[in-house]
Amino acid sequence: MNVLDWDHLRVFLAVARQGQMLAAARSLGVNHATIARRLDALEDALGAPLFDRRPTGSLLTEAGERLLPAAERVETEILGIVDQSRAEGASVSGTVRIGAPDGLGTMFLAAELGLLQRDHPALVVELVPLPRNFSLSKREADLAICLDPPAEGRLLVTRLTDYSLGVYAARSYLAQHGTPETLADLDAHTVVTGVEDYAYAPSLDYGLELVEQAGRLFRCAGVMGQMQAVRAGVGIGILHDFAVGAMPELVRIMPAITWRRSYHLLAHPDSHALARIAACRNVMVRRFREERARFLPFG
């Protein structure tokens, strides 16, 4: 048997990424016996066990850890060949999964990536909410946008843009409760904020100043939920400036209080050059830079 038989390596990668043989079987659309047989064949060829198989899951052994990056390179080469064969200078094709914060995905990326897919009918874009933990190397996403890029790991990091946030309230809320001028005035108001346990990045700690002064709190884990609560007049909240430009019912209050954060694009070095991934990456980098004024409307 050829040690680098793709069918066997594909099974190895699936088990490594899923952590369980049964889950790997489901992801590949084969049965458990096929997974075990192909994994056994690969281990026999290499002369070493690749997983410590336990009832709770399969953990990579030292030999498995050594094989993983090589198997991923083989996977990338095969994907590249398929990519090139499909394209032949024509439209980009295939599936690209992009992870992003929910507010950014809803208020900006959905439209931008939708236009890209319109221009490439054979391209399928999967825009998914960014989880607290994710792995590009495990192909949980092909590209990801985050606030705090990882300090370690084999990733390509591109700074997309800075963006600003401000304090907002609905006109209806201010008409009923008055407009606070300072943080100290918030003791007579309801503040809409996130749920700390669901904050997936340290950069999302900007609400603490308001929380400490608030008379009452309304907590909502998602950015879009917070925005809708503020729009409905539930209370005062911190919102992304780029997202509220088309919402005349919202008013930016206490303008001296503002926050600035950054979006970063993460790509895996072994797959970023694949035509479909490169197309999405290039469009996002370009559009974020073209729309810089939208993300920083107050300079």
Residues 217 and 193: beta-carbon distance below 8 Å: yes
Would you write out the chain's pLDDT as a tens digit for each of its 299 residues?
Answer: 445 677 888 888 888 878 888 888 887 888 888 888 888 888 888 888 988 888 888 888 988 888 888 887 777 767 666 555 555 445 688 899 999 998 999 999 999 999 998 888 889 999 998 755 566 666 678 999 998 887 766 788 899 999 999 999 999 999 999 999 999 999 999 999 988 766 666 667 777 889 999 999 999 988 899 999 999 999 999 999 999 988 999 999 999 999 999 999 999 887 777 888 988 998 999 999 899 999 999 87
219 residue type, one letter: R
* Domains located in the chain, CATH noted: 6-73 (1.10.10.10), 91-299 (3.40.190.290)
Three-state secondary-structure class, residue 225: helix
**Contact residues for 242 (Cβ-Cβ < 8 A; gap 6+):** 107, 108, 163, 291, 294, 295, 297
Nearest-angstrom CA–CA distance, 114 and 127: 10
295: closest CA among 98, 96, 97, 109? 109
